[in-house]
């Protein structure tokens, strides 16, 4: 009987832990990997995006179908005259019809990286 109760408790905890109603860390990390790849593609293979630090995250609409993640990251070394630490970034996730979270905006896409460097001298 004691084993049955313990097993039931573990299953309950796993079910509720898996029912988080926000994008999982795996989804956020996948987007960080995209930024790393884009930095290498735009700046060259010797550059790397590192030290990702989430500074703010939360829902951005009342229906709780959009979720924003603001973060900073560093480049592993300076790029020309641009500052290379504490670079700002943003992700926006939207919940689709199947109740799954998809990233609909990543400031680390190619266009976003160019805008980032335009606005972050020194």
Question: Would you say the pTM of this structure is higher than 0.85?
Answer: no
Percent of the chain with pLDDT over 90: 60
State the pLDDT at residue 86: 92
Does residue 119 have a pLDDT over 70? no
10-54 residue pLDDT tens: 554 444 444 568 999 999 999 999 999 999 998 999 999 999 999
Residue spans of beta strands (DSSP E) within the chain: 49-59, 66-75, 87-95, 101-106
When the pLDDT of each residue in the chain is averaged and rounded to a whole number, the result is: 83
* Residue 22: count of CB within 10 angstroms of its CB: 16
Pick the CATH number of 22-119 from 3.10.450, 1.10.10, 3.40.1000, 3.40.1570: 3.10.450
State the pLDDT at residue 98: 85
Provide the residue ranges of all domains of the chain, joining segments of one domain with +. 22-119
| Cα–Cα distance, 20 to 52 (Å, whole number) | 22
């Amino acid at each position: 009987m004691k084993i049955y109760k313990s097993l039931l408790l573990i299953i309950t905890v796993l079910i509720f832990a898996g029912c988080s109603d926000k994008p999982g860390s795996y989804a956020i990390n996948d987007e960080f990997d995209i930024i790393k790849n884009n930095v290498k593609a735009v700046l060259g293979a010797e550059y790397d995006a590192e030290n990702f630090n989430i500074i703010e995250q939360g829902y951005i609409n009342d229906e709780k179908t959009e979720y924003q993640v603001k973060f900073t990251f560093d480049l592993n070394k300076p790029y020309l005259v641009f500052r290379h630490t504490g670079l700002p970034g943003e992700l926006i996730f939207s919940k689709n019809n199947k109740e799954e979270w998809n990233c609909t905006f990543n400031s680390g896409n190619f266009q976003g990286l160019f805008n980032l460097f335009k606005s972050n001298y020194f």
